[in-house]
Amino acid sequence: MTAPELRVFGIRHHGPGTSRALLAALAGFEPDCVLVEGPPDADDLIHWLAHPALVMPVALLVYRPDELKRAVYYPFARFSPEYQALRFALERGVTAGFMDLPQRHTLALDYTAAMPPPGVFQEVAAAAGHDGYEAWWDAVVEQGKGHAGLFPAVLELTAGMRQATEETAAGETPEARLARQREAAMRARIRRAARAGHTRIAAVCGAWHSPALVDAHRTPGEADDVLLAELPSVAVAATWIPWTYGRLARSGGYGAGIHSPGWYDHLWASGEAGLSPAEMSAGWLAAAAALLREEGMDTSPGHVIETVRLAEALAAMRGRPFPGLPEMEDAALSAMCGGDGEPMALIRRRLIVGERMGMVPPDVPAVPLQRDLSAEQARLRLRPEPEASALKLDLRKEMHLERSRLLNRLTLLDIPWGTTVKARGLQTGTYTEVWQLQWTPGLSLRVIEAAAWGNTVRDAAAACATDAAAGRAELPELTEMIDQIIMADLPEVLPAILARIEELSTMKRDVPHMLAALPPLADVVRYGSLRQTADHLPLLRRVFDRLLTRACLGLPGAATAIDEGAAADLTERLSAAATAVRLFQAEEATGRWQQALGRLADRDGIHPNVAGRATRLLLDEAALRPDGALARLERALTPGGSVDVARYAADWLDGFLRDSGLLLLHDRALWGAIDGWLTALDPERFQAILPLLRRTFAAYPEGVRQQLQDRLREAGGRGATAAIQMPTFDPRRAAGVLPALGRILGLPAAAEVTT
């Protein structure tokens, strides 16, 4: 038997340039076994990477079925060297495997392996005249041509770096020991491959580990076996889940996330297409220009040309062979975006980070979220059925309440298994909920997609809602969300929603929406006696207080120069907000609120409907003495004047009296004032405002109207009835138009005769 040959390829996770160099090196080496840094617990899952229905980026998820929160994600993009190495092995039909310390050990521990000290990387970068190691590596490796000498050079460099740090290390922490155990496991795996008869072994690992592996096949394994003995072990499961570039940019199982997946994707695609660095830059900037044009900014090819020139001038000035991402960003900002950060943020989100989302075949092993969902479904006795069915829940029963929560959480996760229906004949505000349930096959895919949010329905829903809250752009959407998360019992999402409410209320001066946000918040403050909600109470109170303060400051402005519809809307919201302020029970807030109402009641130019309601609310809260309210009423109902004055009075009265006929019944002084005003109106003005008055009074319930009528009769309503007189007109002259009218209405000619 010939001695096996081992090649160690030190890579950077997610490096497109490394990937290209690695593929070239693998093709030259022709290995019969490819080992990749990753969890051997998932060896059985590697073959899925060649499945035609799998779309990158995806992540390998390894978790403990007994404790779903303990999980590790290994994301891969199409430009990741690990993925390319595994694909290489799958396509050639040679053995492919993971070689890291199995997660069945790592997940049994409550600490993670030590990371290499950052200082040494910084030194290397500084020596090469770069701001950071990442930037240096990007410029030298990822954007380079991918020459064959890369891996020996990386090996030499990291060997030197490791030596420099090992000299300073003293004493061993469990974390440092775990780091050594990981490398021991990799060596052990390489030896196993050699024993199995593989003669050309390729090991792909993070550059840092490469010096520790180069001699693995030549050294005896006893020391490593000692190091690896007696590691605790737990049961783990693994599967593939879809991933996104956004998540890749945030974090990952392989140390820190990368900043620019979209840019790397472009580098990879350009490399695949055999483009030169110059074509690569031009292509990327042209994509940026197209993006800006899509958003309505005029960005011409001339802009692109100038941007490319500036990027090249910058690269020359900074001593780089060709522009890298920092040069591209600087040039695009200055030459394409006119120094404006906003279009630049768009470029960053869409092109530098990117929005690509992966997909996994539907038959990969079930994700933990699916397992948790199945367990919940069994516990709550809710079977997923393909036929639609109705489910009526009585929220006073614990089991029903929990079912409602599960369905609400799934809705938050965009897995719409159930939709609430407004049952006919059911009054709102009862303890009853009616759901329409139907499990469609598409929902199973949604579960897989949602798996990235968390491993239990509860955690995933909370994480997803927290993320969604940050993206909401309107206050009403957020207030709606408060209701949703209360129904889903996810109080941990509250801070995110509150923070966003706070942010939006500062940015937008939308008083009606601010007012509308108050009642749900007050409900949570007042009734949210749930234990978990209590933790967020101070924050909740602060946001309520600020929101109220802002609304109060903006109220007079929001009630000036508005049309009838807006005024009616504002009036409604004022009442709801008043209830909220009462519930909130804070002296200072109440004082502030009443001051604002006072301004609404008294200031010139406020819409009469709003002014009337403000006066009414002040009266209700005893912030205004009845005679004060009466004085304002009389002022508003100034007799005489033009039709506009009468209309003002009617609008004011509508705001003041709408939905509260009982007040009118019981307050004699009020009655008298209104009666006096009404009877003093001359017929022409009375007719002009009659529809408006009807609007106010017609909304009263039947009983109240009846009582009002009775009161009118007993209080000498004769005057009122007497005022209604039949108008006098000349029947002969009126008859003259009837034939024409009859023809217009298409009546038979005989009708004319009857006149």
List interacting residues with another protein (CB under 8 A): 298, 300, 302-303, 306, 309-310, 313-314, 316-318, 326, 330-331, 333-335, 337-341, 502-503, 506-507, 509, 546, 549-550, 553-554, 557
- Distance of alpha carbon 481 from its chain centroid, rounded? 11
| 376 in Cβ contact with 461 (< 8 Å) | no
Question: In angstroms, what is the minimal distance from the CB of 40 to another protein?
Answer: 44
**694 membership: H or E segment, kind and range:** helix 683-698
User: What is the Cα–Cα distance from 372 to 755, expressed in whole angstroms?
Assistant: 82
Residue (282 or 751) nearer to another protein, CB: 282
User: What is the Cα–Cα distance from 209 to 179, expressed in whole angstroms?
Assistant: 10
Residue (302 or 672) nearer to another protein, CB: 302
Residue (309 or 396) nearer to another protein, CB: 309
| 724 in Cβ contact with 682 (< 8 Å) | no
Task: Phi first, then psi: give them for residue 33, nearest 5 degrees.
Answer: -155, 125
User: What is the Cα–Cα distance from 31 to 703, expressed in whole angstroms?
Assistant: 91
Question: In angstroms, what is the minimal distance from the CB of 131 to another protein?
Answer: 9
Question: In angstroms, what is the minimal distance from the CB of 394 to another protein?
Answer: 42
Question: In angstroms, what is the minimal distance from the CB of 135 to another protein?
Answer: 12
**202 membership: H or E segment, kind and range:** strand 200-206
| 676 in Cβ contact with 669 (< 8 Å) | no
| 431 in Cβ contact with 395 (< 8 Å) | yes
Angle between helices 398-412 and 475-487 (to 10 degrees): 140
User: What is the Cα–Cα distance from 510 to 149, expressed in whole angstroms?
Assistant: 62
Residue (310 or 559) nearer to another protein, CB: 310
- Look at residue 225 and give its three-state secondary structure: helix
User: What is the Cα–Cα distance from 458 to 373, expressed in whole angstroms?
Assistant: 10
Residue (237 or 337) nearer to another protein, CB: 337
| Residue in 174, 192, 233, 201 with CA at minimum distance from that of residue 41 | 233
Residue (338 or 362) nearer to another protein, CB: 338
Question: In angstroms, what is the minimal distance from the CB of 366 to another protein?
Answer: 41
Question: In angstroms, what is the minimal distance from the CB of 506 to another protein?
Answer: 4
- Distance of alpha carbon 613 from its chain centroid, rounded? 37
Question: In angstroms, what is the minimal distance from the CB of 617 to another protein?
Answer: 21
Cα torsion 515, 521, 523, 527 to 10°: value is: -160
Question: In angstroms, what is the minimal distance from the CB of 289 to another protein?
Answer: 13
Residue (443 or 553) nearer to another protein, CB: 553
User: What is the Cα–Cα distance from 129 to 370, expressed in whole angstroms?
Assistant: 50
Question: In angstroms, what is the minimal distance from the CB of 511 to another protein?
Answer: 11
User: What is the Cα–Cα distance from 676 to 227, expressed in whole angstroms?
Assistant: 99
Residue (341 or 703) nearer to another protein, CB: 341
| Residue in 168, 153, 151, 160 with CA at minimum distance from that of residue 123 | 160
Side chain identity, residue 298:
D
Sequence-distant (6+) residues with CB within 8 A of 215 are: none
| Residue in 120, 122, 143, 141 with CA at minimum distance from that of residue 133 | 122
Residue (477 or 620) nearer to another protein, CB: 477
Question: In angstroms, what is the minimal distance from the CB of 183 to another protein?
Answer: 39
Residue 2 is encoded by which pair of tokens?
């010939």
Residue (207 or 552) nearer to another protein, CB: 552
Question: In angstroms, what is the minimal distance from the CB of 129 to another protein?
Answer: 12
Name residue, tokens 């570039």. 245
Residue (326 or 661) nearer to another protein, CB: 326
User: What is the Cα–Cα distance from 203 to 213, expressed in whole angstroms?
Assistant: 8
Question: In angstroms, what is the minimal distance from the CB of 193 to another protein?
Answer: 48
Residue (501 or 650) nearer to another protein, CB: 501
